[in-house]
Every structure is written in structure tokens, then in C-alpha cells.
Amino acid sequence: MKRAHRNLSEGILMTDQYQLTMAQLYFRQGLHRMPAQFEYFYRNNPSYGSHQAGYTVLAGTGSLLEWMAEERFTENEIACLGRQRGRSGTPLFQPDFLDWLLQEGDFSQIRLQGLQEGRVAHPTVPLLTVQGPFAMAQILETSLLNHMNYQTLIATKAARMRQAANRRPILEFGLRRAQGYGGNAGVRGALVGGADASSNVGISHALGFDPKGTHAHSMVQAFVALGSGELGAFRAYAETYPDDCLLLVDTIDTLKSGIPNAIRVFEELRRKGHRPVGIRLDSGDLAYLTLSAAQALNRAGFADTAIVLSNQLDEMVIWQILSQIRTEAPKLGMNPEEIIDRMVFGVGTALITSQGAAALDGVYKLTAVKDGKEWRPAIKISETPGKIINPGEKQIWRLYDLRDKAVCDVLAIKDERLDVTPELDLHHPVDFQIRRTLKKEELSRVERLYTDLNMVEGGAEDTIARMRLRRDYDLERLDDGVKRMVNPHRYHVSLTRELWELKQKLVGERLSIGKRT
């Protein structure tokens, strides 16, 4: 795509047309500067078909804040909108509205609060709350959802892979199967959630990581076609990268050609005083080949070389390979944990597309508008009870039990103080019959989850290293049942009695309004 087109389509016009038609309507009605509150939340953890996530890892906030800080309406965008015509042939957007966009069309008035990036998150919990002028908060919707949904989805998938891989290194390799330039956002999500590094050169440099990778089959094929064979290719590689020699061994025949040739070249390197790095396996029965490769490498005195696996890996495949190694290695007289400790996993398509669950269903809903000095809760009555929004300004709390495990996220009205309440009366967010009471003695502590994410202080200056610390902290405090890869236990999310009662009151009122109008 042309650079000029990329810049246009990744700028402030990265939004849906209806955000702009609504913004003009608010402008026309004098509502464009009215403070409005929107919340970002999702309804269901990713379900990958035969396996399911019991949580997500929140990611994308930093990218969103950077985007918001730089993007605004300029003459270029205004010219595009000015060209749009309605059915009658007249301009769809009028000059006074476009002038206003040119003057005030940025996100400097938007306040963003919520969970910090890297934290473990759960369905129905408002993860971000946006407050700001109605028109600009509306225009923000599409981009906010785009930044948050995809990176959170990928961070979650990466966290699962890391768990399956016994925390051995995960390398992200997916750019070739990603959605265009969006693969770069996927790398960021992966690095936040569980990947150690990526093969993607540009975004790795942008984020301050070293890209990873060695060689492909094409290099071996070229040497074969030119008459030097696989051994010639490996020797050329070792000569160019004597201290970074990791060889892909399956171009011809892994066991009969690739591994013997690799060992021969490793021996040559050793004689010259270099330490070979390892091999990569990219086809065949990866568990069986890992064991065979480990045997051969050990026999040749290369027990410290890495074995990198790739080829359609996802969390279940990784989990299965490790299980098989734990079963099979002892039969061959090998210690499975020693083998696993030298393994590295290159993951491509399954990570960058979140295989099995290609989208997070995160939404951005209006929950209040400020009429003069008063915030008025906004609610949408839907046919699905689970889709009815929790109204008004809120605070989110996380409760920890006596083992210091998180047991519940609680949505409360903004000024409620769960830290000083002796007994918590908690309601299921949808089903009015389900409620429970938690006594202070049952909890080790309660934590306010919201922080101010605005610009410099909270969000944009955050680092991936800090996000990973939060992720690890939260994952440690998550019950094993919730972290289970298949059929995870459902983490509790509740409303306080006060919020529950407000919601019931508004639903009743709106239903009667619905009947009246």
C-alpha cells in the first residue's frame, strides 16, 4: 500500500463512518462538548473450540495512547470528508462541523482510566473508562476497540502458549500469515502476553527488542541446486555466523541428512573455538525428532545446544509434545526435563491469528452523559439480559482470599468503599437469583483496579517489561482451575448491591419509557 494511503488510513480516519455522522449530529444539537462516559469491556473469554481461556491479559493501551496523542483532524482529513456527498448530492458534512473538527478534533480532552496493561482481566468488567466530549469520545470508539481487542486477544493466546511451554522461550514468527500491517500490533500483544521475542524485524526494533531468526529451507535448496548440498549450506552459515550457528535440519531428511550434517559442522566450529547454538526442526513428528536429535547431539558432545521447534504449533500442540517427551524420554534413558530445558518454540499462524478464536468480542458502550453538573446513567435495553450495560460511574475492585488468590472482581458505584465494608453483598451481573455474601475474614485484601492511564503518567510511558511483571504477578494469583487450558473454572465477577439496585431501577424505567414512546 502507498505510504500516503497508510498514513491516511491509520490516522484519525481509522474510524467508522457512523461515528462521524453521529458527531455531526451532536454538533448540530449542541451536544458535541457534553461530557460522556464510555466503557470498554468484553463479554466472553476466547473459546478456541476444543479448548478455552479462563481469563485474558489486557494489552493495547500503550499503543492506543500513543495513537491518541499524535492523531487529530488536519486539512487532509477535512478535505476527504468535505468531498462526501449524500443521496441528494449535497455535502454530507457541512463546513461549520468540519471547521470545528479542524479546531477541536483531537483527543486532548479525553480522560482514560482503567486496568494497567499486562493485568489479567475478566468478562463484563469495564477494563477502560473513557470520559470526554461526546463527539470525540464517539469518534474514538473504533480505534480504541481495534487497539484493545486484537492485542488483548493475542496477549492471551501468548500467555497460554507460555504456560503450555513450561515457560520455555516462545518466539513469534507469524507476520506472513497476519492481517497486513496489523501483524505488528500482534507482535506487541504477544510480547506483552507471553512471547519472548519475534522474528518481525521492524516492530521489534520499534519496541526495543532484538528480532530473532537464522535461515530458511531456501538457503539449503539454493546450495543443493548449485551443487554444494546441505553440508555446503551449513558450512557457509557457520562461516558467516560462527557464534550464532542455529541450523534448520529438515530440508532433505532430518535424521539421515540434516542432523548428521549439523553435527559435522558443529564439530568444525568447536575445533575453531566456537560454541554452536542449536538446530531447528520444522516438519515431521516433532516430539520423536526432538528425542532423536537430543540423543545424537548428546552423543556428539553438544548437550548444551538448543532445539527449536516450529510448524503449526499452538498451545495444545506444545502441551502434547511436552507430554510425549515426558513419557518417552525415560524409556530411552534420558531425563525429559533436561530435554525440555533446551527447547524453544517458534509459533506462527496460531499465535498471530489466535487460532480458533480470531476476535475478542470487546465493545465500547455509552454508560453515562453529563447534563449540566449531573452524570445521567445511560443504558441499552436489549433482548439478551447479559447484554444490558451496567450503568453510571464505577470503580472496579479485586478481592483476594486468605491464600492471596484473586477470587472475584467486583463492579461498584464509584464512591463505594469495599476496603472498609465488613461484609460484601455481591450479585451476579445478570441473574438476580444468584447472590452471595463475603465476610471480611474470608479475604486477605481488596484492591482498587483502576488507575489514571492518561498520556504520560499512566500509559504511554509504560514499558513492556513492567507489563510482563504485572502479568506474572496476576497469573500467580489466579487459581489453577481458572488457568486450566481446557474447561477452565469460571472466575467470579459480581456487582455490589448498590450497583445492582441502580441497574434494576433503570431497566424498569427504560422499559416503561419503551412502552410509552
Q: Which stretch binds a copy of itself (CB under 8 A): 195-203, 325-333, 450-458, 495-503?
A: 195-203
Which of 141, 196, 315, 474 is the binder for a copy of itself (CB under 8 A)?
141
Q: Which stretch binds a copy of itself (CB under 8 A): 194-202, 320-328, 436-444, 478-486?
A: 194-202
What burial letters (b/e) apply to 372-384, b meaning 16+ CB within 10 Å? eeebebbbeeeee
Q: How many residues contact a copy of itself, by CB under 8 A? A: 143
The amino acid sitting at 242 is: P
Task: Please state the closest distance from residue 333 (CB atom) to a copy of itself, in A.
Answer: 27
Question: What is the 3 state secondary structure string of 253-285?
Answer: CHHHHHHHHHHHHHHHHHHCCCCCCEEEECCCC
Cα distance between residue 322 and residue 316, in whole Å:
10
Q: Does 138 bind a copy of itself (CB under 8 A)?
A: yes
Which of 296, 300, 369, 443 is the binder for a copy of itself (CB under 8 A)?
369
Residue 216 CB neighbours (<10 A): 12
Which of 55, 107, 237, 397 is the binder for a copy of itself (CB under 8 A)?
237
User: Which residues neighbour 19 within 8 Å (Cβ) at sequence distance 6 or greater?
Assistant: 138, 139, 141, 142
Strands 128-133 and 111-114: antiparallel
Q: Does 255 bind a copy of itself (CB under 8 A)?
A: no
Q: Does 40 bind a copy of itself (CB under 8 A)?
A: no
Starting from the edge strand earliest in sequence, which strands make up the sheet with 394-401, in order? 435-439, 423-427, 492-496, 406-413, 394-401, 443-448
Q: Which is nearer to a copy of itself, 176 or 448 (CB)?
A: 176
The amino acid sitting at 111 is: R
Q: Which is nearer to a copy of itself, 57 or 449 (CB)?
A: 57
3-state SS assignment for residue 140? helix
Q: Does 203 bind a copy of itself (CB under 8 A)?
A: yes
Which of 130, 313, 368, 495 is the binder for a copy of itself (CB under 8 A)?
368
Cα distance between residue 4 and residue 77, in whole Å:
12
Q: Does 259 bind a copy of itself (CB under 8 A)?
A: no
Q: Does 96 bind a copy of itself (CB under 8 A)?
A: no
Q: Does 15 bind a copy of itself (CB under 8 A)?
A: yes
Q: Does 213 bind a copy of itself (CB under 8 A)?
A: yes
Strands 306-309 and 343-347: parallel
Q: Does 354 bind a copy of itself (CB under 8 A)?
A: yes
Q: Which is nearer to a copy of itself, 312 or 444 (CB)?
A: 312
C-alpha cell at 120: 489479567
Q: In the range 382-411, which residues lie near a copy of itself by CB under 8 A?
A: 382-384, 387
Task: Please state the closest distance from residue 28 (CB atom) to a copy of itself, in A.
Answer: 5
Which of 13, 339, 475, 493 is the binder for a copy of itself (CB under 8 A)?
13
C-alpha cell at 83: 468531498
Q: Mark 172-191 with x for binding to a copy of itself (rule: CB under 8 A) and - for no binding.
A: -x-xxxxxxxxxxxx-x---
Residue 292 CB neighbours (<10 A): 17
Q: In the range 70-89, which residues lie near a copy of itself by CB under 8 A?
A: 70, 80-81, 83-88
DSSP sequence for 414-434: TT--GGG-SEEEEE-SS-TT-
C-alpha cell at 213: 531468526
Tell me the Cα Rg of the chain.
27
Which of 91, 284, 324, 477 is the binder for a copy of itself (CB under 8 A)?
284
Q: Does 28 bind a copy of itself (CB under 8 A)?
A: yes
Task: Report whether 500 contacts 385 (CB < 8 A).
Answer: no
Q: Which stretch binds a copy of itself (CB under 8 A): 61-69, 405-413, 417-425, 439-447?
A: 61-69
Place of cell 535440519: 249
